[in-house]
Amino acid sequence: MELEQASFLASPEALAAKQAVEAGETEVIGSLADLHRMIDELTAN
């Protein structure tokens, strides 16, 4: 019996996200400063 490997890139969620990006339907969810702050918090623990 072979198991089929699922690919996230072929999932409905990933395909919908790809379509949204290609259509220019994106939004900013944070700044670079937010990213650095989050990384600092994660690496501090």
**29 lies in some domain:** yes
**19 lies in some domain:** yes
**33 lies in some domain:** yes
Long-range contacts of 13-17 (CB under 8 A, 24+ apart): none
The total number of structural domains in the chain stands at: 1
Per-residue model confidence (pLDDT) at position 6 = 76
Contact between 22 and 28 (Cβ < 8 Å):
no
Instruction: Note down pLDDT in tens along the chain; length 45 residues.
Output: 676 677 888 999 999 999 999 999 988 889 999 999 999 999 997
Alpha helices in 1-45 (DSSP H): 12-22, 32-44
Contact between 8 and 14 (Cβ < 8 Å):
yes
User: Structure tokens of 14?
Assistant: 């990933």
The domain containing residue 35 runs over which residues? 13-44
Task: Give the gyration radius of the chain's Cα atoms.
Answer: 17
Per-residue model confidence (pLDDT) at position 25 = 94
**26 lies in some domain:** yes
Per-residue model confidence (pLDDT) at position 7 = 86
Per-residue model confidence (pLDDT) at position 1 = 65
